Copies of this chain bind each other. A is one copy, B any other.
Amino acid sequence: MRRHSRHREELAPRAEQKQQTRQALLDAALRLVADNSFDGLSLREVTREVGIVPTAFYRHFQSMEELGLVLVDESFRTLRRMMRAAREGALPHEQLVKRSVETFVGYVQAHRPYFQFLMRERFGGVASIRSQIRSEIRLFVSELATDFARFPGADGWSNEDLQMLSGLIVGAMISATEQVLELPPRADADDVIRIAEKQLRLIILATPHWKSQPSRPQAEDAS
């Protein structure tokens, strides 16, 4: 096989190796932020982990901040891929909640370092990273609200109320994520799944009784 004919997976050796080093830097940073927080992580630590000299870092990123932003992007790219798949899978009306929660929690467990990074840096010391994570989450909530708008029974719901509802659900899933990450790496997450599932079912139970109106108070409480 001639060295110059490039097939699918085969990049120019030079460019390919550079790409590999770049990815190695990203992977090393992700591995290392399991302990330190991101802004306590030094450029030298990352290059040491990869096995290159500190100055070589600048061949790939302008700064640690730039690397961090790429990590945020990587994290959400994989998450978005999953959510898209979940959405396309249509709604099997029953078991929807159970399946969704199980899928999501399984995904968190399989991508632990990414979620650890996102949860931590959501409040972290680097402003640009923080705000990028938050805007991704906000986008997420909006997309879920749009999905709900298409449900039968959502006719009377105001936009704000749809956002309120999906905000509540995303909040519950974020809580579940926190709890999964608190568990030891390979632990059984059944308790977390069961609780999160109940929370979603409880929320859904309320929706038929909600009167979405500009701002009139409800007198619905039954007990």
Which residues does A use to contact B, with CB under 8 Å? 35-37, 39-40, 119-120, 122-125, 134, 151-153, 160-161, 163-165, 167-168, 171-172, 174-175, 182, 194-195, 198-199, 201-210, 215, 218, 220-223
Contact = CB atoms under 8 A, between A and B. Distances in A.
A83 to B, nearest CB: 19
A40 B125 CA distance: 8
Contacts of A220: 205
Nearest to A116: B123
A122 B123 contact: yes
Tally of this chain's copies: 2
Contacts of A125: 35-37, 40
Given A152-B223, A167-B175, A223-B152, A209 B199 contact: no
28 contacts: A37-B37, A37-B124, A120-B124, A122-B123, A123-B123, A123-B124, A134-B182, A153-B223, A160-B195, A163-B195, A164-B195, A164-B198, A164-B199, A165-B202, A167-B175, A168-B175, A168-B202, A171-B172, A174-B175, A194-B215, A202-B203, A203-B203, A205-B209, A205-B210, A205-B220, A208-B221, A208-B223, A209-B209
Nearest to A219: B94
Contacts of A151: 223
Given A123-B123, A172-B168, A223-B207, A218 B201 contact: yes
A205 B204 contact: no
Nearest to A205: B206
Which 6 A/B pairs are nearest by Cβ-Cβ distance? A206-B206, A37-B125, A153-B223, A208-B222, A120-B123, A205-B206
